[in-house]
């Protein structure tokens, strides 16, 4: 049986590991591997997923036929590097860097003649403050290369920048930071796929955010978008232009856009499927694409063309929530929600009495989510409301009992 190496072992890598185990001997490289993965793998490397030389050495020793990741940014460059060095199908290391480094991403957009929000790459709070004064509006601080919105913050004063810059730099591999004009408009998310440099958009959806300062976390992503046809086509056309201009050879893409007035700007694009089960579940529900099989076939050279897919076969999305800091003392409605035939992959196993929650609502990584489907968007929203009304958690922190945070 062929061996395939999967890099990353977080919750959102489990679907591709499970699917790979049906056809391959699965090897896994990650800094930690929990019991959920053990029955699906035959070997593992405990290492930082950014340690590309260690992962390459492991891949060579095990003579893997393919290397892949999904739903995570930090493993993309390592996967591209290993594939390139071993002569396996991949996107190329420089392309991997382009899709994971926010400065390189913006420079390529300029080369392509695509409009961007004013920004500057900086290495100090003083440089960021200088840009803020020139910009004359609120700005966003972003680590050059991170995921899960770690270290991202909105600044409205020079004092904000001084206070928040160190956190942004901490999450950047180089210590450098992007400071960018803050846009306040509507946001979109677009998933697509590429094979042999041919690209096709798959689904376009809407993003709704928690009202939590600096969390920059979506509380819901809903497909398809409610935007009119002209606007949604404009977003998708821009996405196609970007992905083709970036020279992506293969795989699934995840892009986020924001409007500033009537203009549409890229927030970021990624050469991997969308997290929170967008890649594994929502693309499949909306288009019929067997996403993991497509990715695995590409990674092992079994496919080099785009498969036929449907469009908006179902309305679908994820709804997310935070559990407040404290100790979970009671959970109600859990089994009822799990039993709903329109509830798909989820993180409800992480809700149980006695669990201690800490770390606050700082970024995307501490959210929990449920994926949901329906025949129409209106029905989807009704079903999400029903789940929200049904699922209840009590969390005690010494100052009282709090419920789930949905907004």
Q: Has residue 22 got a pLDDT over 80? A: yes
- Please tell me the predicted confidence (pLDDT) of residue 361: 81
Could you report the per-residue pLDDT of 57-103, keeping only the tens digit for each? 999 999 999 999 999 999 999 999 999 999 999 999 999 999 999 99
Structure-token match 């913050």, residue found:
153
What confidence tier does 174 reach under pLDDT thresholds 50, 70, 90? confident
Structure-token match 């958690």, residue found:
393
Could you report the per-residue pLDDT of 371-381, keeping only the tens digit for each? 999 999 999 99
d(CA 73, CA 56): 18
The pTM (predicted TM-score) of the whole model is 0.94
Q: Has residue 147 got a pLDDT over 80? A: no
- Please tell me the predicted confidence (pLDDT) of residue 148: 60
- Please tell me the predicted confidence (pLDDT) of residue 352: 97
What confidence tier does 150 reach under pLDDT thresholds 50, 70, 90? confident
Could you report the per-residue pLDDT of 383-401, keeping only the tens digit for each? 999 999 999 999 999 889 9
Tell me the β-bridge partners of 269.
255
- Please tell me the predicted confidence (pLDDT) of residue 173: 79
Q: What does the radius of gyration of the chain's CA atoms come to, in whole angstroms?
A: 21
Q: Compute the average pLDDT of residues 289-293.
A: 98
Q: Between 335 and 398, name the one with better pLDDT.
A: 335
Over pLDDT 70: what percentage of the chain?
A: 99
Angle between helices 102-111 and 229-246 (to 10 degrees): 100
Q: Compute the average pLDDT of residues 360-369.
A: 85
- Are 282 and 316 spatial neighbours (Cβ–Cβ below 8 Å)? yes
What confidence tier does 129 reach under pLDDT thresholds 50, 70, 90? very high
d(CA 348, CA 323): 11
Structure-token match 């997290």, residue found:
275
The stretches of 112-157 forming alpha helices (DSSP H) are 125-135
What confidence tier does 41 reach under pLDDT thresholds 50, 70, 90? very high
Structure-token match 């679908």, residue found:
316
- Please tell me the predicted confidence (pLDDT) of residue 215: 79
Could you report the per-residue pLDDT of 207-248, keeping only the tens digit for each? 999 999 887 899 999 999 999 999 999 999 999 999 999 999
SS3 12: helix
Peptide bond into 221 cis (omega under 30): no
- Please tell me the predicted confidence (pLDDT) of residue 363: 75
Rounded to a whole number, what is the distance in angstroms from the first to the last CA of the chain? 47
Average pLDDT score over the chain? 96
Instruction: Give 259: exposed, middle or buried? Use CB within 10 Å, 0-12, 13-18, 19+.
Output: middle
């Amino acid at each position: 049986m062929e061996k395939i190496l999967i890099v990353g072992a977080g919750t959102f890598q489990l679907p591709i590991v499970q699917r790979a185990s049906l056809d391959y001997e699965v090897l896994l490289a990650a800094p930690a591997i929990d019991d959920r993965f053990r029955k699906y793998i035959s070997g593992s490397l405990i290492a930082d997923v950014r340690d590309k030389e260690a992962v390459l050495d492991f891949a060579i020793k095990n003579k893997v036929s393919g290397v892949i990741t999904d739903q995570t940014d930090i493993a993309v460059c390592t996967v591209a590097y290993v594939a390139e060095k071993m002569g396996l199908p991949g996107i190329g290391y420089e392309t991997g860097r382009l899709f994971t480094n926010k400065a390189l991403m913006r420079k390529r957009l300029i080369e392509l003649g695509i409009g961007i929000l004013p920004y500057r790459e900086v290495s100090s709070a003083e440089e960021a403050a200088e840009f803020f004064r020139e910009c004359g509006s609120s700005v966003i601080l972003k680590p050059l290369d991170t995921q899960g919105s770690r270290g991202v913050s909105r600044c409205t004063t020079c004092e904000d920048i001084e206070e928040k810059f160190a956190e942004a730099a901490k999450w950047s591999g180089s210590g450098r930071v992007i400071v960018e004009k803050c846009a306040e408009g509507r946001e979109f998310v677009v998933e697509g796929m590429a094979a042999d440099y041919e690209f096709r958009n798959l689904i376009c959806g809407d993003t709704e955010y928690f009202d939590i300062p600096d969390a920059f976390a979506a509380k819901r992503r809903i497909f398809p978008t409610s935007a009119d046809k002209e606007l949604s086509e404009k977003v998708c056309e821009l996405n196609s232009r970007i992905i083709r201009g970036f020279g992506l050879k293969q795989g699934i893409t995840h892009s986020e856009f924001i409007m500033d007035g009537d203009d549409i700007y890229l927030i970021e694009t990624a050469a991997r499927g969308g997290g929170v089960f967008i890649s594994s579940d929502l693309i499949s529900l909306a288009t019929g694409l067997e996403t993991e099989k497509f990715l695995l076939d590409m990674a092992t050279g079994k496919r080099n063309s785009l498969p036929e897919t449907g469009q908006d076969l179902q309305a679908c999305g994820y709804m997310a929530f935070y559990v407040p800091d404290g100790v979970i003392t009671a959970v109600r409605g859990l089994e009822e929600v799990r039993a709903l035939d329109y509830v798909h992959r989820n993180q409800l196993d992480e809700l149980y009495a006695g669990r201690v929650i800490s770390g606050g609502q700082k970024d995307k990584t501490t959210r929990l989510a449920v994926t949901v489907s329906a025949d129409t968007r209106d029905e989807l929203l009704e079903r999400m409301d029903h789940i929200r009304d049904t699922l209840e958690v009590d969390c005690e922190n010494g100052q009282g009992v709090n419920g789930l945070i949905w907004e």
